[in-house]
Structures are given as structure tokens and as C-alpha cells.
Amino acid sequence: MPMQFSAQEIIETIRMVQMENLDIRTITMGISLRDCAHPDLPVVAERVYDKICRVASRLVPVGEEIARDYGIPIINTRLSVTPIALVAESAGAGDYTVVARAMDRAAREVGVNFIGGFSALVQKGTTTGDRALLASIPEALAVTERVCGSVNVGTTRAGINMDAVAQLGRIICDTAARTADRHGIGCAKLVVFCNAVDDNPFMAGAFHGIGEPECVVNVGVSGPGVVCMAVKKEPDADFGALASIIKRTAFKVTRMGELVGRAASAKLAVPFGIVDLSLAPTPAQGDSVARILEAMGLERVGTHGSTAALALLNDAVKKGGAMASSYVGGLSGAFIPVSEDEGMIEAARMGAISLDKLEAMTCVCSVGLDMIAVPGDTPASTIAAIIADEAAIGMINAKTTAVRIIPAPGRTVGEVVEFGGLLGTAPVMAVHRWSSAGFIGRGGRIPAPLQGLGN
Amino acid sequence: MPSGTNRIIVTVIGRDQVGIIAAVSAVLAEAHANIVDISQTTLQEFFAMIMMADLEQATLPFADIKQRLNAKGEAMGLRIDAQHEAVFNYMHRV
């Protein structure tokens, strides 16, 4: 039987993997913990540990097997679980840190580097479990290594819970203080969402939504390097041609996600959930979203034109990816985390990009203000106001937005915070010095917008 | 396996030299992997050989064959990779 591929096609694939950092960013197994509820909190923790270890025991070996068989690097294998506020609530009020510790132990036991789901959904108000979880976040993120938390504070349908927003400003400051010896790294594991999605495979915001099955496999693809090289090859292409180049590349990248997701699903005998089309950068050279925007003709990311360039990129990635997979979901868009993107780090260091420009860029991409370090003395009300702005963008535009911000203890603008590994390097960025305290102090809920009345 | 077949694509990239095809064929023959097609091309200044092999009757698992090919490549100063055919099917065929 003759080979059905041309040499050019085969070399293209090999080049993408070996030279342009094409990889599968994460295989994330979602596990329902709804059956772990119990009136006694230590029993909840024990059940959580046992179930995760039982259900996820083969995840890491299967990931390694797939990476070997297909020759596609799989960077992370991770877990997402039912929001713990729901799981632990039948135990009433109390310190849910014991559950976070159980998640951390289980993650270590099965060999995943992160487990998401120390979470609560409070867009319209809080229950006993939600309040206990919120109160436990600073301690839980300080004493665990692999646990990630998230809180959904708004939706297009519900509006924005401004009491929760104000509280999260304080929680973020407290979390930074408790991990001050590690530059406030606890905050890097906490995401505040508007319109959070149930099937996001990416950390730190992953949780296993309440409409999800017992267990599911979701895949996050990557490949900013592949897109960047494709864009660089056509410096004179007009915007139509540019969009087309990105679409074709995104299609190919997403097909790898589809292949890996289906293989993992078959090997684990777990349903295949979704492929998340996000372009997710890493601090490595040649794996940057910022560099794609610069390859389009911007001298530095953050300058005028960055929002338009990102809008084109984000849309073309979705169009190419949507056809490549039978189930697209998660966040699906370009990520613009500052500390995790080599091009963003450089732009922030030289002052080319500001918090305000990043906020504007989040209007046209997924997901939000991500991995941004601000001065350690930033008031909680200012952090809450940053969250409120971002949540408003999500609420009005019916899209997911998020904030992952680190008030770096003892640091000021111009200094740099080194988190290391995938979390990267964060230059401390300036915030506005005028107070938002009066606004944040009002309390209550911002009503759902007209956009929420879609029926 | 999503593809349903058990074929692999072996790629050899490096400087051209005597005995490349013989060496790769020998590794595959030892494992009873049947070569179904070979092509070669040049990629910039480098030589690239592409081989498709069927593992239906193979006596060694894919992971072992791949490892032997990698080792042979290192010994010859070449980069030899093997990937399941499904990777190329998924990426280049709708």
C-alpha cells in the first residue's frame, strides 16, 4: 500500500513538534466528588482522597504512553474536581483546609502537578459551604502545593456579586501575606471568574462543573510557536490571508488535541469531553502569544493595534479549531498571562504594556488579567475593583473573564518576581493610585444586564 | 487506537551517508515490521528519509522499536523518529 502522505506533510508535522514547540498542554481528568459528601469533615477529606486515587490512578501512565506512541509531548496531566464548596457543605461550617490537604496528597499520589476545584460558585450569593470555602482559601493555598482554587463571582444571567468581589480583594491580600516567603505564590493558584466554564482543562481555574458526568477527559492544546512561525513566514500577507494562515495552523494543532483526547478516553475507558482550543504560552523561547502579535507587525505587544491584532488571532484560532474537533469547549481562545509568556515579560519589563491595555485586550480574547504582579501594598479595595472591572467585561460581553493577580509582598513597580517553572517571571506592574474603596464598599449585587434576558 | 491501523511513520533526518536505509531496515526486520513504502527528499541541506511500516505482525511493541530506532540514529549521528500513522492522518486529512 502506498503512503498516503507527502514528504512535505510529514516533515511539516515533525518540524512543528521538534522545532516549534507543538505540544499538548494538558490532559485533564474531571472527577465528580458529589458522592464524597458526609456530615463529618474528616470523613469528607478521606473520601475525596480515596476517590481521586482510585479513579485517577492510571492517568499519568496513560499520558506517558500516548506521548510515546504518537511522539507528541504532553506537558501536563492534571485533575479537576467538583467545587469543594458543594462537596464539603453537608459538613456545615468549618475549615475546609483539611479537604485541600487531602486533594494535595491525592495529587501527589497519582503524580499530577495540579488539581483544580477548591472552588465556589457565588455569582448570586453564598451558602454555608461557600462561606466556609472562601474563608479557607488563604490557608488552603498556603499549606498545599498542588491545589488550585477558583471563585465564580458573576455571570451574564446573574450579574456580579459585589460582596464576594470585595471579599476576594481581601482574600487575595491575605493569601499573598501567608505565602510572602514565596513571593505570594498562593495567589498564582487562585482565579476569580465571571462566566466560569464547567469543562476548562487549564489551571489554575479548572473545576469539574455540576452538569458534567462522573468522570471525563478534557484536553488543552497549545502551539503559539507553530502559529508564530507560520505568521513570520508571510510578512506581506494582508489581513484576510493572515487569518487564513492562522486558521489552517490552528486546525492542525487542534487535530493533535482531538487525537490525544480520543486516545486517552479509549485507554482510560472514560468519556471524551472537549478539546480546549486555547493558545497557551509558556515562559520558554518560541512559545509566546505576544511574539505572534509582534510578528503581525507591532513593535512591542501593548502598543496601539495590540487589541485588533489579538482579536484577529483569537477569532482565527477558533475558526480553524472548531472544524478540527467534534467537541470544542473550555475557554478556547488565546491566553495572555504576563508572567508565563516570554514576550509579555519583556514588554512589561520595558513598560510597553500596562494593566489598562491588558484589560482592553481581555475584551477580545480568553481569558482575563492573568498572572499579573502588582505592588505588595496595593489596597484590597483596588484589587476588588480590578476584579469588578474584569467581571463587568465578561458579564456584558457574555464571555468568560478572570483575574489571577499577585500583590507581590514587599515589591514595588519595576521590581521582578520570580516564581519559576511554568509560572514564570512577573515584572511588578503599576495600578492606579486613586482609591476605589467607596465604590467597592457599597456592597450588594450588580443586576444582570439586558444581555442576560435572552429568552 | 483511534486510527484502527497499526502502521508507523519512520523519519530519518540528518547528513546523507552510506547505509541509512540498510540500518533502519535492519531494525524493522528484526522486529518483523513490514516496510510498506519508502521515500526520500532533501530538507534544506539535510537528507530526509520517510518510511512507512506495518506493525501487524511485529514481534516487538512499538515503544521498543522506537527506542531501537532512536539508538540507531544516535549511533549514526542522525535523528530517527517513529510516530503512529494516526498523527499524520489526523493532522493532514479531514
Calculate what percentage of chain A has a pLDDT beyond 90. Answer: 79
Query: Do B86 and A70 count as a contact with CB atoms less than 8 A apart?
Result: yes
Written as nine digits, the cell of A365 is 480574547
Chain A nearest-CA distance from B5, in A, is 13
Q: Which of A213, A289, A209, A212 is nearest to A25 (CA)?
A: A289
Q: Distance between CA A450 and CA A406 in Å, rounded?
A: 33
Q: Which residue has the higher pLDDT, A221 or A446?
A: A446
DSSP label at residue A429: P
**Omega of the bond leading into A317 within 30 degrees of 0 (cis):** no
pLDDT attached to residue B1: 42
Would the pLDDT of B2 be above 70?
no
For residue B5, pLDDT over 80 is answered with no
| A273 confidence band (pLDDT: 50, 70, 90) | very high
Distance (Å) from the alpha carbon of B49 to chain A's nearest alpha carbon: 9
B36, A11: Cβ pair inside 8 Å? no
Q: What is the mean pLDDT of residues A244-249?
A: 93
Residues A394-430 have pLDDT tens digits of 999 999 999 999 999 999 999 999 998 888 999 999 9
Angstroms from B1 CA to nearest CA on chain A: 6
- Residues near A65 by Cβ (< 8 Å), separated by ≥ 6? A267
Question: B67 to chain A: nearest residue by CA?
Answer: A68
Residues in chain A closer than 8 A to B1 (CB atoms): 263, 266
> Which of A8, A9, A10, A219 should one mutate to test binding to chain B, selecting the residue with the greatest count of B CBs within 10 A?
A10
Please give the single-letter amino acid code of residue A70.
Y
* pLDDT one-digit tens code per residue, A118-135: 999 999 999 999 999 999
Output phi, psi for A282, to 5 deg: -130, 165
Scanning A278-363, the segments in alpha helix (DSSP H) are: 289-295, 306-324, 342-349, 355-361
Pick the more confident residue, A352 or B48. A352
Lowest mean pLDDT segment, chosen from A174-188, B43-57, B75-89: B43-57
pLDDT higher than threshold 60 for residue A384: yes
pLDDT tops 80 at residue A154 = yes
* pLDDT score of A332: 87
Domain ranges for chain B: 7-92
DSSP 3-state of A120: strand
The pTM of this model reads 0.91
Domains of chain A: 28-57+75-194 (3.20.70.20), 219-434 (3.20.70.20)
Q: What is the residue-averaged pLDDT of chain A?
A: 94
Quick one: how far is CA A229 from the chain centroid?
24
A158 SS3 class:
coil
Res A2: pLDDT: 58
Q: Is the pLDDT of residue A241 over 90?
A: yes
Candidates 3.40.30.120, 3.30.70.260, 3.30.360.10, 3.40.30.10; CATH matching B7-92: 3.30.70.260
- Chain A residues close to B43, C-beta within 8 Å: 11
**CA dist list (Å): A193 to A99, A164, A452:** 22, 11, 17
CB contact under 8 A, B90 and A255: yes
Residue in A closest to B61 by C-alpha: A69
User: Tens of pLDDT along A189-211?
Assistant: 999 999 999 999 999 999 999 99
The b/e string for A29-41 (b: 16+ C-beta within 10 A; e otherwise) is bbbbbeebbbeeb
Determine the pLDDT at residue A57.
96
Tell me which chain B residues have a C-beta less than 8 angstroms from the C-beta of A250: none
Q: Residue B68: phi, psi to the nearest 5?
A: -65, -40
Contact call for B84 and A71, based on CB within 8 A = yes
Q: What is the mean pLDDT of residues A1-25?
A: 78
CB A14 within 8 A of CB A192: no
Write down the ipTM of this complex.
0.80
Please say if the pLDDT value at position A277 is more than 90: no
Mean pLDDT of chain B: 87
Task: Say if CB A38 and CB A90 are below 8 A apart.
Answer: yes
> Minimal Cα–Cα distance from B75 to chain A, Å?
20
DSSP A447: P
Task: Give pLDDT tens digits for A66-84.
Answer: 988 888 889 899 999 999 9
> Which region among A326-330, B2-6, B32-36 has the lowest average model confidence (pLDDT)?
B2-6
CA–CA–CA angle A280, A285, A288 (5° rounding): 30
User: Does residue A435 have a pLDDT over 70?
Assistant: yes
